[in-house]
Amino acid sequence: MLTVGLVSVSIPTYYDYLASLSNPGLDPATVRANLEASGISIDFYATYLLLIRIAFAIVWVTVGAVIFWRSDGWMALFTSLSLITFGTLGINDGPFLLAEQYSAIWLPVNLLGLFSTASLVLFFFLFPNGRFVPRWTRWMAVLWVAHEGAYYFFPGSLLDLDSSFPQIDFMVMVTFACVGAGSLLYRYRRVSGPTEHQQTKWVVFGTAVALLGAVGFESISYVLPVTSQEGSLYALIIEAGVFGSLLLIPLSVGVAILRYRLWDIDLIINRALVYGALTAVLAGFYFGAVTATQAIFRALTSQEQQEQLTIVISTLVIAALFTPLRRRIQSFIDRRFYRRKYDARKTLEAFSATLRDETDLDALSDDLVGVVRDTMQPAHVGLWLRPDRASRKHGVIREPRS
C-alpha cells in the first residue's frame, strides 16, 4: 500500500518531469524537433511514457498481490513484496523526484528503492525453496545489498560505482547476474525435486525470453540509427516493446508459484525454440532474397526500381520454405535438446508401423514389451494377456512375458 500510494501521489510530478524534458540524458531541442517531425505533441509524449510505466507497475503489482493472496510461507511473501516494490519503484522515478521536493520522505523512499532492486536479485538466489544454494551465494547476496545501498544512500561518492566507475559497475552487475543464473542451474541439477524442477523452468524460461526481448528491441536502435532518436515514433514503439518484454518476468514467476501444473513448460520451451529459430532464419533469408533479387533484376533489366516484384517473389519463396524448414528445425531441436523424448517418439512410430503389419501375437507381445522398456525405461516390465473363452475351454492360459 505504501509503494502504490507513493507512485500514485508522484504521478503529477513525474508527468511534469517528462513534459519538461528534464532528463539529463536528453537534448530538449533535439527531442522537440523529433516530436514535431513525427507529428507528436509534448503532452502526448509525456502521457505515453507515463502510461507505459503505470501499466508496467499494474502488472507487477497484480501478480504480487495474487501470490500474496493465494500462497503461504515466507518465500511466497518475499516474492510478492519483491514484485510489488520493483514494479512500483524499480523503474519509476516519480517517488524519487517527489523525495527531492519533500525531504521528510527521502529516507523511506530510498529504503524502499533499495529493497526493490536488492530483493529481485535475491529472489534468484533463493527461489524456489528459500535457501541459498550453494551456501556461499549468501555472501554474494550481502555484497549485492551493499552495492545497491551505496547507489541509493551515497550517490555520486566513490562507493557508488555507477557514477565513479561505470565500466566496473557494469562488470559487477554482469557478474551478479551470471552467479544468479548459475545458482538456479546448480540448484536445478543437484538439489531440486520434480516440483521445483518445473517451477525453476518457468522462471528461467520467462526471464530469459524477457531479457532477450528487451535486448532485441534495444538492439534495433544500433542496427537502425533512425530508431534511436529520442522523441521519434520508432523510439516510442521500442520503449513499449522493452517494457512489454519485461512483463514476462512477473508473469512467469506467478505461473511458477501458482499454476505450474496447468501447462507443460517443456512443450512451451520446445515451441519457443522452434518458432524463434524459424523466425530468425526466415527473416534473414527474406532480407537476403530481396537484396539478391533486386541485384539480379538490375543486372538483367538495367532497371533500378523493382521493389514490388522482388517482394512478391521473396514472399512466395518464404511461404514455400516455411513448412519444410519448420520440420527440419523441429527435428534438430528434438535430437539436440529432447533426445530421450525424440527417441521415444521414433520408437513409437516404428511400433505403430509394426502393429499394422504383424499377425503373430507372440512376436507382437515381445515388441510391445521392448517398446515400453525403451521409451519408459522402467525397472521391470511385464505383460499378461487375458485368455479368451476358447483358450479357457481347452485349458490354455498364456504365461506372462517380462
Confidence check: pLDDT of 156 > 60: yes
CA atoms within 13 A on the CB side of 117: 21
Confidence check: pLDDT of 238 > 80: yes
Percent of the residues in the chain that have a pLDDT greater than 70, as a whole number: 84
Q: Which position has the higher pLDDT, 329 or 84? A: 84
The domain ranges of the chain are 2-261, 277-337, 342-393
Q: Residue 396 — pLDDT band, cuts 50, 70, 90?
A: very low
Among 97-111, 221-235, 329-343, top mean pLDDT goes to 97-111
CA atoms within 13 A on the CB side of 328: 8
Q: Where are the alpha helices (DSSP H) in 26-131?
A: 28-38, 42-70, 74-85, 94-101, 106-126
Q: Do you know the residue count of the chain? A: 402
Q: Which position has the higher pLDDT, 184 or 154? A: 154
So what's the pLDDT on residue 330?
79
The C-alpha cell of 141 is what?
547476496
The C-alpha cell of 74 is what?
515466507
Confidence check: pLDDT of 397 > 50: no
Q: What is the C-alpha to C-alpha distance for residues 193 and 177, in angstroms, rounded to an integer?
A: 24
Contact of 237 with 230, CB cutoff 8 Å: no
So what's the pLDDT on residue 33?
87
pLDDT, tens only, 85-134: 999 988 888 899 999 888 889 999 999 999 998 998 888 888 888 888 88
pLDDT, tens only, 64-91: 999 998 877 888 899 999 999 999 988 8
Mean pLDDT of the chain: 81
Query: What is each CA distance from 293 to 279, 290, 300, 303, 309, in whole angstroms?
Result: 21, 5, 11, 12, 9
pLDDT, tens only, 45-67: 999 999 999 999 999 999 999 99
So what's the pLDDT on residue 78?
92
Q: Which residue has the cell 514389451?
A: 369
This prediction has a pTM of: 0.69
Q: Which residue has the cell 504365461?
A: 399
Mean pLDDT of the region 349-364? 73
pLDDT, tens only, 271-323: 777 777 778 788 777 777 777 777 776 776 655 555 666 777 777 877 888 88
